[in-house]
Structures are given as C-alpha cells and as structure tokens.
Amino acid sequence: MIEQVSANRSHGGTQGVYTHQSSETGTPMTFSVFVPDHAPGAKLPVLWYLSGLTCSHANVTEKGEYRAACAQAGIIFVAPDTSPRGDEVPADEGYDFGKGAGFYVDATQEPWKASFRMRSYIENELPALIAAQFPADMGRQGITGHSMGGHGALTIALRNPNRFRSVSAFAPIVSPLACPWGEKALEGYIGADRAAWREYDACALIEDGARLPGLLVDQGTADNFLGEQLKTGLLVAACAKAGIDAEIRMQEGYDHSYYFISTFMADHVAWHAARLA
C-alpha cells in the first residue's frame, strides 16, 4: 500500500509524491512519480532516475526539468530516495555515508545491514510497487542517474541485463573501487574484502563480462569531482575494450549541479524514448 503525499498538475500530467512502509529497509520510504496524461487502459514505459549523495527524491523532482520531455514522449518518471530515513536508522557524521548516501548496495556490516538495503529496494521491491500501482509497462524500462545515482544506474543495469532497454547517466561514479567515495562506502557497508565490491563497480562488472545494450553519459568538464571521484576515462576505456556502444560526452564548462543535469535532461529523455518505443 502507498500513501499519496502530494499531487500537482504539470505539463499535461500528474506529479505525485508517495510514501510506503518498505519491507526491505524496515522504514517508511518516499518516492516521486510523474505520469503523463494517457488513454484509459494504456501502459506507459518507465524511466528510473537515481539521485546522488545528500539527495532525496525531491532534488530531481524540483530541479530536474524532466516533465515536459516525459509528457511529450509519454514516459513515466520514477525518482526514489537514496537511503532509508528516520530516527531509528543509523547515522554518520559525513555527507558521503549513511543517510542520503545508501550507494545502492545491500549492506552486510553492522549497524547498516538491517536497513541499508537499497539494491534490493530498487531492483525488487519498488518495481513491484510501481507495476501494481501505476500504468507502467514493465517490459519497457530505462534507467538513469546522477553521480552516486549514476553508479547505481550503471551497476543495476549491468546486473539485470534483460530488464532495461536503455541506460544513461549524468556524471556517474564509474569505479567505486578506484575513488575515495566508493572506498569509504563499500568498505563501510560491505566490509574490507575488495573482491566483494566488484558487483558494485561498473568498470569491474564490464571487465567481468557484464554488458549494456548501449549507453549515454554526460559529464561536465568543470565538475570539481571529475579527477578524484568520477574518473570518466575509466568507463570510456572499459566500454571500448568490451565493444559497448557508448556515447560519453564531455560537456565544456558544466559542473556537477542540477544546472548541468537540467540542461541535458531532455536529451536523455528523448534518447530513452527512442529505445522504449
């Protein structure tokens, strides 16, 4: 069961925010869904958007500028939260771990493993809920995301090759094995065995044989995190070696913010729409 928190008309559709009690996290979880107007009984393709560090469903919902493009293409847009929330959920003082930083993994370490199950939440629980509650054609799904959410989109798609027809990302963390954000998150949630991290690293998954049907990535050249955390070049090399059809665009002068994301969001929606038709 879901509870509607809000609903607003926008661009010939309805932007809703919803909450439900998650069996995976053991907490209430909030997500947003934009549903374009459609014929009675029609089923629409679904585009998932996974957000980055410190974000919730609200960031892209308020600043992503996706609704006009989704309405034109007839695509449902789903934006989950990035972690469990609530006083009973363990907290960490850093912005890059704990609440707001679930990293789309299933934690195995205490005290995180009870509620930090964002992989299973995104891969299993929430899709079943979307299929049951919205006019979604689950045979036509695409996935995208930003930064930590780009990492989530890439790794979830690579682990579920028959689920997603289209995959894209904005400034993704492409190799958590090779950056401070990823090392902190994966050791904290998964433990010190780096071999166990590979299923949460896009470049490692590609090296280990996973494939994508195609890929669109936009990355700003003025992104403060490009060199130390994002390392886009590793993904370029991995896709080239594996023969993955990847369009990885370096966008001159753009940073890591929603000014960047909103600029290229319509391009991504159109790119997904062509593959979800």
For residue 35, give the 3-state DSSP assignment.
Answer: strand
Closest CA to 79 of 65, 92, 91: 65
Question: Is 8's pLDDT higher than 90?
Answer: yes
Query: What is the mean predicted confidence (pLDDT) over 201-225?
Result: 98
Rounded to whole angstroms, the maximal C-alpha distance in the chain is 52
Q: Output the pLDDT for position 91.
A: 83
Domain locations in the chain?
Answer: 3-276
Query: What is the mean predicted confidence (pLDDT) over 229-249?
Result: 98
Q: Output the pLDDT for position 93.
A: 81
Q: What angle do CA 152, 154, 158 make, to 5 degrees?
A: 115
Q: Output the pLDDT for position 65.
A: 98
Question: Is 274's pLDDT higher than 90?
Answer: yes
Of the candidate CATH numbers 3.40.50.970, 3.30.230.70, 3.40.50.1820, 3.40.630.30, the domain formed by 3-276 belongs to 3.40.50.1820
Query: What is the mean predicted confidence (pLDDT) over 223-234?
Result: 98
Q: Which residues of 102-134 are buried (b: 16+ CB within 10 A; e: fewer)?
A: bbbbbbeeeebeebbbbbebbbebbbebbeeeb
Cβ(223)–Cβ(230) under 8 Å?
A: yes
Task: Give the whole-number percent of the chain exceeding pLDDT 70.
Answer: 100
Residues with a known catalytic role: 147, 223, 256
Query: What is the mean predicted confidence (pLDDT) over 258-271?
Result: 98
Q: pLDDT of 122-181, one tens digit each?
A: 999 999 999 999 999 999 999 999 999 999 999 999 999 999 999 999 999 999 999 999
Q: Output the pLDDT for position 263.
A: 98
Cβ(27)–Cβ(82) under 8 Å?
A: no
Q: Which residues pair with 117 in a beta bridge?
A: 106
Question: Is 92's pLDDT higher than 90?
Answer: no
- Specify the higher pLDDT residue, 91 or 12: 12
